[in-house]
């Protein structure tokens, strides 16, 4: 009799890795379940551009053979993971969500792909994205838009929208995305999962199609803090092939968060996960100037739950916020225009309308504006944030000021003021790209009991361990992986 396939709708790497290590379930069984779920749901959600079913099954069988030999490689052994479709896999089409690179097949692996496979992970496919990662909505004219699993009529967010949809809907246990203006955190917020933008230089960008190189980041999306830590443990570290990579020691993230672990999160009892008392700062300026009231209500409720975990918060004054947009905009637009300059001459007609508009705006940025933004204002803003953080373990702000908009929506109305969807979704995230700080999106709540929104936990440079530890303490009290499961039809 054929064994019933595993239900992957709410599984985490933490849970599944234990089953694989103990041989209660085989890697092939896990991959078979994932592939069947992709085949069932992807036609509706459009989270994948390429599905690697055959190679994934081969990798799973190899992972099983290693376990039989007593060679268990760690928490990612046999775990199905997807990659945003601009992270290169040798011999696999990498479109960057574009018409221009529709047939591009890299002849080498990205550093991230190499590290994942070395750790035993199974790559099941490549995820849909906003064209060339140049957008925050996930709307794609070439491959179709990824749909939010909480409401198919709504945006997934972007540009790592397919990655977030795949994880949220159980079509992948985790994904690796990129973040230039919020492209990991925004879709994570709208789809109800965790997403980490690490410190700039923490994770190699070698073999990743660039958008704006000085603010591009590579990071993981997953269903739990433990899973994020396990992924970061593998993909972090210096890479001589990436000029922006930093020679900074990589902590043992799993040990860092597990050292404060109390009772299992399935317990109904309140648990004190740590003797360490965390203090979080909430800036008064900028982050609450424009926000939908229901999203603000969820933020306040999240803060109350933090207090219930023994984590204290306080509001503080933050300088430098008036320069955020005039710093981010020249860097993001000018660098993208430089990357695409040749194609803009030879293949202009092959770009989507929204992307070409952004690229053309980049050509209008003067050298003076770009250099001032890159070498002056971003340092001023970073200094202001670090100064503001001096008395705190981390900062806390909302991720998005709205829940997921409708797929055909161009503007939103917030308390009588109309604003573009793009600016609404990226308003609170882009600053952390220009100042390089690590940021974790944490699922915070549901607007109208049906649309997720998140909060951003912000740490000091290369201090991902601390924000993961704080988030893990919160997660232990609230069992988020069970709460944020979309009712997929």
Q: Are 105 and 94 in contact (CB under 8 A)?
A: yes
Q: Taking 60 as the threshold, does the pLDDT of residue 2 lie above it? A: no
| Tokens standing for residue 477 | 């009290």
Provide the whole-model pTM.
0.96
pLDDT in tens, 336-366: 999 999 999 999 999 999 999 999 999 999 9
Catalytic residue of the set 183, 204, 426, 430 = 183
Catalytic residue of the set 159, 169, 175, 189 = 159
Mean pLDDT, residues 127-154 taken together: 98
pLDDT in tens, 45-63: 999 999 999 999 999 999 9
Catalytic residue of the set 14, 17, 26, 84 = 84
Catalytic (active site) residue 244: no
Q: Taking 90 as the threshold, does the pLDDT of residue 89 lie above it? A: yes
Catalytic (active site) residue 159: yes
Mean pLDDT, residues 11-38 taken together: 97
Catalytic (active site) residue 183: yes
Residue 269 confidence (pLDDT): 38
More confident residue, 134 or 8: 134
Task: Look at 256-265, 378-387, 449-458, 461-470 and tell me which has the smallest mean pLDDT.
Answer: 256-265
pLDDT in tens, 320-342: 999 999 999 999 999 999 999 99
Percentage of the chain modeled with pLDDT above 70: 96
CA–CA distance, 483 with 489 (Å, rounded to integer) = 17
Confidence of residue 212 (pLDDT cuts 50, 70, 90): very high
Domains in the chain: ranges and CATH = 13-245+268-483 (3.90.1300.10)
Residue 426 confidence (pLDDT): 96
Residue 261 confidence (pLDDT): 63
| DSSP strand pairing (194-197 vs 439-447) | antiparallel
More confident residue, 477 or 111: 111
Chain mean pLDDT for the chain: 95
Residue 1 confidence (pLDDT): 43
């Amino acid at each position: 009799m054929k064994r019933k396939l595993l239900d992957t709708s709410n599984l985490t790497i933490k849970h599944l890795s234990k089953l694989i290590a103990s041989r209660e379930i085989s890697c092939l069984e896990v991959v078979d379940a994932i592939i069947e779920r992709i085949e069932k749901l992807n036609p509706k959600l459009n989270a994948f551009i390429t599905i690697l079913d055959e190679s994934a099954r081969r990798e799973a069988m190899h992972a099983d053979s290693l376990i039989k030999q007593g060679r268990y490689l760690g928490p990612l052994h046999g775990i199905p993971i997807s990659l945003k479709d601009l992270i290169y896999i040798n011999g696999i089409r990498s479109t960057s969500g574009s018409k221009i690179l529709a047939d591009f097949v890299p002849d080498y692996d990205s550093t991230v792909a190499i590290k994942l496979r070395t750790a035993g992970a199974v790559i099941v496919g490549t995820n849909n994205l906003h064209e060339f990662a140049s957008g925050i909505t996930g709307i794609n004219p070439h491959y179709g838009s990824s749909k939010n699993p909480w409401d198919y009529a709504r945006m997934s967010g972007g540009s790592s929208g397919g990655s977030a949809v795949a994880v949220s809907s159980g079509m992948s246990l985790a994904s690796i995305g990129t973040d230039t203006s919020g492209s990991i955190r925004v879709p994570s917020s709208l789809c109800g999962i965790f997403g980490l933008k690490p410190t700039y230089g923490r994770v190699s960008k070698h073999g990743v199609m660039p958008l704006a190189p000085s603010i591009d980041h590579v990071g993981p999306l997953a269903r739990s803090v433990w899973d994020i830590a396990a992924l970061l443990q593998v993909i972090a570290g210096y890479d001589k092939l990436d000029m922006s990579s930093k020679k900074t020691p990589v902590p043992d993230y799993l040990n860092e968060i597990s050292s404060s672990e109390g009772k299992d999160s399935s317990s109904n009892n309140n648990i004190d996960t740590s003797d360490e008392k965390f203090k979080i700062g909430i800036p008064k300026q900028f982050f609450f100037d424009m926000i939908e009231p229901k999203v603000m209500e969820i933020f306040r409720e999240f803060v109350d739950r933090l207090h219930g975990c023994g984590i204290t918060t306080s509001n503080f004054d933050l300088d430098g916020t008036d320069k955020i947009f005039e710093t981010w905009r020249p860097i993001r637009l000018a660098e993208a225009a430089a990357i695409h300059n040749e194609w803009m001459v030879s293949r202009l007609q092959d770009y989507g309308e929204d992307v070409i508009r952004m690229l053309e705006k980049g050509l209008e940025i003067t050298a003076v504006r770009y250099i001032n933004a890159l070498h002056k204002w971003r340092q001023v803003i970073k200094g202001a944030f670090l100064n503001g953080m001096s008395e705190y373990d981390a900062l806390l702000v909302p991720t998005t000021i709205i829940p997921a908009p409708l797929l055909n929506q161009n503007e939103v109305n917030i308390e009588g003021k109309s604003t573009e969807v793009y600016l609404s979704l990226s308003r609170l995230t882009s600053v952390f790209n220009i100042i390089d700080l690590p940021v974790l999106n944490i699922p915070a709540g549901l607007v109208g009991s049906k649309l997720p929104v998140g909060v951003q936990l912000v740490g000091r440079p290369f201090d991902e361990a601390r924000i993961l530890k704080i988030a893990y303490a919160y997660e232990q009290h609230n069992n988020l992986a069970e709460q944020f499961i979309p009712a997929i039809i």
